[in-house]
Amino acid sequence: MSNRFQRITPFLWFNEEAEEAANYYASVFDNSRIHAITRYDGETAKAARRPADSVMTVAFELDGQAFTALNGGPVFAFNPAISLVVNCRTQDEVDHYWNALSNGGDPAVQQCGWLQDRFGLSWQVVPVQLIELLTSGDPTKAQRVMQAVLTMKKLELDALQKAAA
């Protein structure tokens, strides 16, 4: 992780998959690792209704960004109201992240570059060129690009560039 102070850290609530999810995400992104795992002790386990010595939190890093995952039980679940955006420079990157993150996820929750992974977390896998195409100053071009986006699940950079042309 850089020496830059990270003021905001995403905190992800899982039922009991925090360690599995953190390890999986760290395997998908370069420059990623698990920093620390805390466990429920007798008192906290009892209060949280979790097994003693089970994983409570996992501090991890994805591509230099700090995250924390909590095994908090089934009280809360992820929904698409919040998602994590993966900015990609090439179609190969889009393909890599889309394929890895959508593996085991819900295919019914895939559209316009959005997907839901096997843990229920929503991601947007987006080529950075999309923003350039949408903000070029040409509203007709932007409309064609957006119409193309609306027909896709995984975003295809060539098709977006053709729509812009």
Say if domain 83-164 classifies as CATH 1.20.120.80: no
Of 76, 43, 41, give the one whose Cα is nearest residue 55. Answer: 41
Q: pTM for this structure?
A: 0.91
Q: Domain map of the chain by residue range?
A: 11-71, 83-164
Element (H, E) at 57: strand 55-62
Domain 11-71 has CATH 3.30.720.100: yes
- What is the pLDDT tens value at each position of the chain, 165 positions in all? 457 788 899 999 999 999 999 999 999 999 999 999 999 998 888 888 888 889 999 999 999 999 999 999 999 999 999 999 999 999 999 999 999 999 999 998 899 999 999 999 999 999 999 999 999 888 999 999 999 999 999 999 999 999 999
